[in-house]
Amino acid sequence: MKEKRNLILLAGLVFFHLVLISVQAPKGNEPTYFERAVFAVFAPIQHGVAAFFEKARDVWNDYFYFRQVQKQNQSLRAELFVLRQENQLLKNILKGYQGAEEIQRLLSPLSRSIIVASVIGVDSGQVYKSVVLNKGSVDGVKKDMVILDRRGHLVGRVIEPITLKQARIQLITDEESGVGVLSEQNRVIGVLNGGASGKCLMRYVLKTNRDISEGEEIVTSGYDGVYPSRIPVGKIVSITEDTTLFKSIVVEPYFDFSELDRVAVLAVDLRELE
């Protein structure tokens, strides 16, 4: 039995060896059966690996593409922001000027007059009092520089403290702020202070003055020595009278707290250009 088992094993090995020889025997230009079998097994794996790396390459390229698009978008948004500010400044300033020489003199400093900053904090005790910017003295921010929102509306001014990379802004809605203003239509002069719930009060307008009405636009007068003239501030929403000599005028500021993420710091004193 042992000899028969060895004989069967030997015959099986010989047969298996002949099969291997036959499947690997060359068939001219055609692949062998063994090559066909190996290809059939590994082709799907190779295809899957190739597809995986191709997909990974596409994802990688798309990532850098979108990163580049995002950077370009941010750059264009910043450029658009500055252009809007310059446009609004030009509209405000050029109202009082005529002639090419005066206009050319005004245009020269505007390209360096705006510092774009982001709001990074608010006054925890009173949200309508002040905010903190991410720009400071190393960026050229100084005390009493004027702050505008993205549409060129008045927000406030820089106050102390000012650090290397941060600055505090007093909002026009602060009760302790004071802005010289006038009505756009009839040029009625007053002083704007912060009021309740984010609104402002236009003070020192006599009851006898009949040249001011609800819906009028309020702009800066330039008489306070801090803010340049003709910057849009807000609109009158109500006018009432009390026991004092003056009208009680409520002004709705134009700047919106929900959009106060990016502001413009005027790094040039526009009063010198007026």
Nearest to 184 by CA among 254, 85, 259, 248: 254
Choose between 48 and 196: higher pLDDT.
196
**Which tokens is 42 given?**
């590994």
Q: Label residue 29 left, alpha or beta by phi (over 0 means left) and psi (-120 to 50 means alpha).
A: alpha
Backbone Cα Rg of the chain: 38
Strand, helix or coil for residue 235: strand
Judged by average pLDDT, the poorest of 27-41, 200-214, 225-239 is 27-41
Strand, helix or coil for residue 171: strand
Q: Where are the beta strands (DSSP E) in 94-153?
A: 114-122, 130-133, 146-148
Query: 248 falls in which pLDDT band (50, 70, 90)?
Result: very high
pLDDT tens-place string over residues 8-51: 777 777 666 655 655 555 555 555 555 555 556 555 666 566 66
pLDDT score recorded for residue 155 = 94
Above 90 in pLDDT, residue 251?
Answer: yes
Query: 212 falls in which pLDDT band (50, 70, 90)?
Result: very high
Distance between start and end Cα atoms, the chain? 121
Choose between 4 and 235: higher pLDDT.
235
Choose between 122 and 217: higher pLDDT.
217
Q: How far apart are CA 87 and CA 114, in angstroms?
A: 12
pLDDT score recorded for residue 41 = 57
pLDDT score recorded for residue 103 = 46
Choose between 126 and 108: higher pLDDT.
126
In this prediction, residues 80-101 reach a mean pLDDT of 63
Q: How far apart are CA 47 and CA 122, in angstroms?
A: 57
Above 60 in pLDDT, residue 272?
Answer: no
Q: Report the percentage of the chain scoring pLDDT > 90.
A: 33
CATH code given to domain 179-256: 2.40.10.350
Eight-state DSSP code of residue 212: -
pLDDT score recorded for residue 25 = 52
Cα Dmax for the chain: 134
Judged by average pLDDT, the poorest of 97-101, 141-145, 222-226 is 97-101
Helix ranges restricted to H, 25-156: 33-94, 100-107
Judged by average pLDDT, the poorest of 4-18, 89-103, 154-168 is 89-103
pLDDT score recorded for residue 243 = 85
Domain boundaries, the chain: 179-256
Strand, helix or coil for residue 15: helix
Choose between 125 and 252: higher pLDDT.
252
pLDDT score recorded for residue 203 = 94
